[in-house]
């Protein structure tokens, strides 16, 4: 008997949401000849489905049950295809749904110009619905087969969305690069699940948590999970698809990919480490946490350094996704380290900081990509060197983009500040416990501090160059404010950035079911104490800022209205011109000169004949596979009989292995 509360909130609502997504996808194709109708059905039903999914996502935090809904029973070996919304998956369902609500509203206005350019809006809306649906099923799947099928669906739908503007240059190569990297990850995940299935005797996720794995197999699972999920979230060195795919994808798709899809990979990594492997109870290898932490440190610093070299606004934001995934990995790596040292309170605080930054990054990065889309919609330009003065023509967009930029730069009292401070608190809390741990955590603090400082400079550039000063081209002078639906979608995310920054205690209290589901022992007091301290300080800061703003308004109203307007001082020249103001390259030059030794290999392809990671990793791999290609071509005869023989040989080997084991 399914508990009554499930029919009010939980899994059945998710099923209804899935049905609405499918309806939106099919109706948008049915009315593809009429772009207005396909847009209304496609994005309207996606909006309804996301609202339903949000209800399903918050259900576990309101006390609703979490029993799975079985879609099909495949027998004892293959298990049951089922979905379930527990506390951890509910958190990510809520993230996907909330961002989906904002992006769906934004999309009503954004896709109008695609019809003018001759693109099929119905096809876009179909892929959009399927992409959102696949992400929701990934984080609620309870079976390997279902997970891998929808994981592939997520990859394929996002690939076609990335390559949607197929008339633009470099779209196909960017899409191919993305598809290649994501399938490398899919192979790693398939191998990981095979090890899980071999140890548990079933493909159901519930059996993984009760099985025992030897240290060798547990380490293999960890490496495969790191490669599989790391390739999807863009951790260095598996990041190469991010700066290629994001500039080519439509901006609302970029918002979903960077704001949400990367977080699906974070969900998978947390589920494997703390759920399936149960490292809080079963223990963990020390090097696991060290590896995650080191990858996070270098991804954070290199991501923000990459962004300093960029003038394409969407590519700049993609680089900052690498940075913020690095920050999340720092928190996650610290949590695994603390688990290996049997320090559950600090492990909980580190994991909470990582999960909270996951939520916060979804909000402000989605907002920033939508803001970049608004700029491109209005000016048809992404190169910030060609912009300037947009705050005069797009004032609401400017305010919302500034809010997102301040959030990602960790300016108090916004949400990015809260999760980064929590990460600092967790790292600093572990210093002094042991020599090894203290050394590693001290380095992590230094890397995180450098990342935070550089991020402020990067987003002063990202906001100041496009929005302030004088227009640098006709693209900027012709700008105008975007449609209201686009502004409303961005406003929802902006409000979330403010709320998450001011009310971290509510987030901490809501997260307790997540920690209970991940087998954290005892009360998670460290999380609550840290959140309460931050909430008090952020509220006080808001009161101070509010008082200053109110005082400024009163002064402006009461002051003498007679005022004089003069020309801006231009060092004695009669009138300032656009060429006199800072360029993006000039703004970043002090930092790039100071860090020349780090940046030269990243910015000068001629230094090694390729980009640094291409030179070290991808070019050798490409050469290796090109060497093997002539030999593998022997087996591609084009004859059906030969391919059937290959299948028969493979099946025989599998049966022999199964019988011998």
Q: Each residue of 188-244: pLDDT tens digit?
A: 999 999 899 888 888 888 888 888 888 898 999 999 999 999 999 888 888 888 888
Contact 131, 161 (CB under 8 A): yes
Residue bearing the bigger pLDDT, 245 or 267 = 267
Does residue 288 register a pLDDT over 90?
yes
Q: Tens digits of per-residue pLDDT, 362-414?
A: 999 999 999 999 999 999 888 888 888 898 999 999 999 999 999 999 888 88
The model's confidence at residue 519, banded by pLDDT at 50, 70 and 90, is confident
Q: Percent of the chain at pLDDT above 70? A: 83
Alpha-carbon distance of 529 to 346, in angstroms, equals 12
pLDDT score, position 485: 93
Mean pLDDT of 511-519: 84
Instruction: Give the C-alpha distances (Å, rounded to integers) separating 56 from 9, 92, 138.
Output: 5, 11, 15
Does residue 154 register a pLDDT over 60?
yes
**What are the beta bridge partners of residue 69?**
83
Alpha-carbon torsion, ordered 96, 98, 104, 107, to 10 deg:
-90
pLDDT score, position 625: 63
Does residue 9 register a pLDDT over 60?
no
Locus of tokens 């999960």: 355
pLDDT score, position 659: 59
The total number of residues shown for the chain amounts to: 661
Alpha-carbon distance of 125 to 41, in angstroms, equals 8
Write down the mean pLDDT value for the chain. Answer: 83
Residues contacting 31, CB < 8 A, separation 6+: 37, 38, 41, 122
pLDDT score, position 66: 62
Does residue 174 register a pLDDT over 50?
yes
Mean pLDDT of 494-517: 86
Q: Between helices 35-58 and 87-110, what is the axis angle to 10°? A: 160
Alpha-carbon distance of 445 to 420, in angstroms, equals 11
The model's confidence at residue 325, banded by pLDDT at 50, 70 and 90, is very high
Domain extent listing, the chain: 604-661
Mean pLDDT of 290-299: 94
CA angle 364, 485, 121 (to 5 degrees): 100
The model's confidence at residue 612, banded by pLDDT at 50, 70 and 90, is low
Instruction: Report the range of poorest mean pLDDT among 105-119, 165-179, 561-575.
Output: 561-575
Residue bearing the bigger pLDDT, 72 or 358 = 358
Does residue 553 register a pLDDT over 90?
no
pLDDT score, position 609: 35
Instruction: Give the C-alpha distances (Å, rounded to integers) separating 465 from 76, 98, 378, 582.
Output: 61, 30, 16, 8
Residue bearing the bigger pLDDT, 567 or 253 = 253
pLDDT score, position 622: 64
Residue bearing the bigger pLDDT, 503 or 337 = 337
Residue bearing the bigger pLDDT, 627 or 276 = 276
Alpha-carbon distance of 144 to 234, in angstroms, equals 23
The model's confidence at residue 516, banded by pLDDT at 50, 70 and 90, is confident
pLDDT score, position 355: 94
pLDDT score, position 279: 87
Instruction: Give the C-alpha distances (Å, rounded to integers) separating 445 from 252, 325, 328, 420, 425.
Output: 34, 16, 13, 11, 10
pLDDT score, position 616: 63
CA angle 403, 252, 25 (to 5 degrees): 140
The model's confidence at residue 623, banded by pLDDT at 50, 70 and 90, is low
Mean pLDDT of 280-306: 89
Alpha-carbon distance of 251 to 248, in angstroms, equals 9
Check residue 72 and report its DSSP letter: E
Residue bearing the bigger pLDDT, 465 or 75 = 465
Mean pLDDT of 481-492: 94
Does residue 608 register a pLDDT over 50?
no
């Amino acid at each position: 008997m399914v508990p009554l509360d499930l029919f009010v909130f939980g899994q059945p609502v998710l099923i209804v949401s899935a049905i609405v997504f499918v309806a939106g996808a099919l109706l948008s194709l049915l009315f593809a000849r009429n772009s207005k109708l396909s847009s209304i059905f496609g994005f309207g039903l996606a909006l309804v489905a996301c609202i339903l999914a949000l209800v399903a996502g918050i259900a576990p935090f309101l006390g609703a049950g979490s029993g799975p809904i079985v879609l099909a029973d495949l027998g004892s070996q293959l298990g049951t295809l089922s979905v379930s919304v527990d506390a951890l998956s509910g958190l990510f369902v809520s993230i996907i749904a909330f961002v989906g609500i904002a992006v769906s509203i934004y999309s009503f206005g954004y896709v109008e110009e695609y019809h003018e350019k001759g693109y099929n809006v119905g096809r876009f809306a179909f892929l959009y619905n399927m992409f959102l649906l696949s992400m929701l099923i990934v984080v609620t799947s309870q079976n390997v087969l279902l997970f891998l099928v929808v994981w592939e669906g997520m990859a394929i739908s996002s690939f076609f969305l990335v390559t949607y503007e197929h008339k633009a240059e470099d779209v196909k190569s960017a899409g191919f690069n993305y598809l290649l990297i994501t399938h490398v990850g899919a192979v790693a995940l398939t191998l990981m699940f095979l090890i899980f299935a071999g140890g548990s005797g079933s493909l159901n996720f519930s059996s993984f948590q009760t099985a025992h794995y030897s240290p060798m197999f547990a380490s293999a699972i960890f490496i495969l999970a790191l490669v599989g999920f790391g390739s999807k979230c863009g951790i260095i060195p598996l990041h190469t698809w991010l700066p290629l795919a994001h500039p080519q994808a439509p901006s609302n798709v970029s918002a979903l990919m960077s704001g949400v899809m990367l977080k699906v990979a974070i969900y998978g990594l947390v589920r494997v480490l703390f759920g399936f492997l149960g490292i809080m109870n079963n223990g963990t290898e020390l090097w696991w946490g060290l590896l995650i932490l080191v990858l996070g440190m270098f991804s954070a610093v290199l991501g923000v350094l990459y962004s300093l070299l960029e003038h394409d606004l969407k590519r700049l934001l993609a680089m900052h996704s690498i940075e913020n995934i690095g920050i999340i990995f720092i928190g996650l790596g610290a949590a695994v380290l603390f688990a290996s040292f049997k320090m559950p309170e600090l492990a909980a605080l580190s994991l909470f900081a990582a999960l909270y930054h996951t939520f916060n990054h979804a909000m402000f990065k989605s907002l920033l990509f939508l803001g970049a889309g608004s700029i491109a919609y209005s000016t048809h330009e992404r190169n910030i060197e060609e912009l300037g003065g947009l705050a005069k023509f797009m004032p609401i967009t400017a305010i919302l983009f500034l809010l997102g930029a301040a959030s990602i730069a960790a300016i108090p009292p916004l949400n990015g500040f809260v999760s980064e401070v929590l990460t600092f608190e967790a790292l600093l809390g572990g210093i002094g416990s042991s020599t090894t741990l203290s050394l590693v955590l001290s380095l992590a603090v230094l890397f995180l501090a450098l990342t935070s400082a550089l991020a402020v400079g990067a987003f002063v550039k990202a906001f100041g160059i496009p929005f302030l000063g004088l227009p640098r081209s006709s693209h900027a002078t012709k700008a105008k404010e975007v449609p209201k639906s686009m502004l409303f979608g961005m406003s929802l995310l902006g409000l979330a950035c403010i709320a998450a920054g001011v009310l971290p205690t509510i987030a901490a209290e809501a997260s307790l079911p997540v920690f209970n589901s991940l087998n954290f022992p005892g009360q998670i007091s460290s999380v609550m104490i840290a959140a309460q301290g931050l909430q008090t300080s952020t509220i006080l800061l808001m009161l101070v800022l509010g008082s200053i703003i109110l005082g400024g308004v009163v002064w402006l109203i009461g002051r003498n209205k007679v005022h004089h307007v003069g020309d801006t001082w231009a060092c004695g020249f009669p009138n300032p011109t656009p060429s006199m103001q800072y360029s993006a390259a000039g703004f970043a030059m002090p930092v790039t000169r100071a860090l020349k030794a780090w940046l030269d290999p990243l910015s000068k392809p001629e230094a090694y004949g390729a980009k640094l990671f291409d030179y070290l990793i991808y070019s050798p791999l490409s050469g290796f596979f090109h060497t093997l290609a002539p030999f593998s071509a022997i087996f591609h005869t084009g004859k059906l009989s030969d391919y059937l023989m290959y299948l028969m040989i493979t099946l025989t080997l599998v049966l022999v292995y199964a019988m011998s084991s």
